[in-house]
Amino acid sequence: MSGARLWADTAWVRGGWARGVLLRAGADGRWAEVASGVALPPPDATVLPGPAIPALVNAHSHAFQRAFAGLAERRDGPHDDFWSWRDRMYGVALRITPEQLQAVARHLYAELVAGGWSHVVEFHYLHHAPDGRPYADEATMARALAEAAQDVGIGLTVLPVLYERAGFAQPALREDQRRFAADTERVLRLRDTVRGWALPQVGAGVAVHSLRAARPASVHALARALHGDPGPIHVHVAEQPAEVADCLAATGRRPVQWLAEEGLLDARWQLVHATHTEPGEIAAVAASGAGVVLCPGTEANLGDGLCDLPGWLAGPTPLALGTDSHVTRTASEELRWLEYGQRLQLRRRNVAADAALPPAAQPSTAARLFERVLAGGCAAAGLGPAGLRVGARADLLVLDEADPGLVGVPAAHRLDAWVFAAPQAAVKQAWLAGRCRFEAAAPPDTGPAFAAAMAALHGR
């Protein structure tokens, strides 16, 4: 059975703009046909109302933190950093109910679709009831996320998180972390439960919260249990200097160094943040085939620091983007933050552009970053091939040429302008798994339920 048949006057195909692109989605939600040079749309094809580009995967999300966005921008002590933000964020984590989580996630996922994302990877550690006891259905909170994603149409990869202790020198979780507790067995059960639902465009892998939050023996036990499983494995790593220092004190090695030297890394592993790394660690990750997930908006909001982007780009390491705490929610803004942070630090322009000599070079900063995170995001979610090509997920965005940031821009520079000159998302339509799930004129109405959840969480 065939799905939607679409025709775009121009579309971003395999790293460049192509004319007259005909696409057909299969019944499985993947592209069954992609052809360029089709001068006129066939009678049965839907003509897309603007240039088409692949949608991106949001490779790192804590959906419940959307209920905290904008509520931590006041200093309530002499010093404010990641750790003080985290303690305040736990207040929301301890109160949110499954019903509220579903409302928050549904609102967030609708925002993400409108912002250029087609799939979201949930780093899911909010498992238990507020008192810390398991729900009768231990997948209650994961189910709330999956139902929200199904309502909106966004793809979802759920990563149940191994979370055992509060720090390298602390044997157990803190009281305000009681909803997060999960050992290896629980993580694997939750993964299997989500897979067993067999929901369209919903999958599952696993995650390790961080090396400070999981015992080394448990990390190795989880890795052994995953032998032969193709699903993604994510871990927060080297986000904060204090984490690096604590890991050195506890193990004699830096976090990325520990993962590499323990022989854990392979192409399934995704290192989230990897902000504070050394050249040898970057080389070790590249050799292992593991990927890196960067979250520029959240990393800026939390004062994490800046990663060695030139170092990562110089090698073959897959790169992906995530919106993490969701203070930012558009794909183009994350790309812009990724480059602008480097410009501020290095006092240079077009840091991510390929400096190689033509014709091999990619002089467009936006194009080089977009192509890299397009492929890396699909790998981080366990989706397979990326982009407008046969076998990839049938996801695309139609850009709004009437957006003030894109009006009058020459076609060859359209992607550059989308990233660097269009402050809004500038998305006119979003097609997910072969279906139009967003149109700018009629966005999903998720606001009332979200507002009610926020009122219950924070008071009116």
The radius of gyration computed from the CA coordinates of the chain, to the nearest angstrom, equals: 21
384-to-21, 122, 207, 321, 376 alpha-carbon distances in Å: 22, 18, 19, 16, 10
Give strand ranges (E) for 143-259.
155-162, 202-204, 206-208, 233-237
Measure the N-to-C terminal CA separation of the chain; round to a whole number of Å: 50
Q: Which of 324, 400, 403, 416 is catalytic?
A: 324
Torsion angle of C-alpha atoms 56, 62, 64, 66, degrees rounded to 10: -50
Burial of 79 (0-12, 13-18, 19+ CB in 10 A): exposed
Q: How many CB atoms lie within 10 A of CB 392?
A: 19
SS3 content of the chain, % helix, strand, coil (to 5): 40, 20, 40
Out of 62, 273, 276, 326, which one is annotated catalytic?
273
Is position 87 annotated as part of the catalytic site? no
Contacts of 103 (CB under 8 A, 6+ apart): 148, 446, 449, 450, 452, 453
Relative to beta strand 56-61, strand 155-162 is: unpaired
- Active site (annotated) includes residue 324: yes
- Catalytically annotated residues: 273, 324
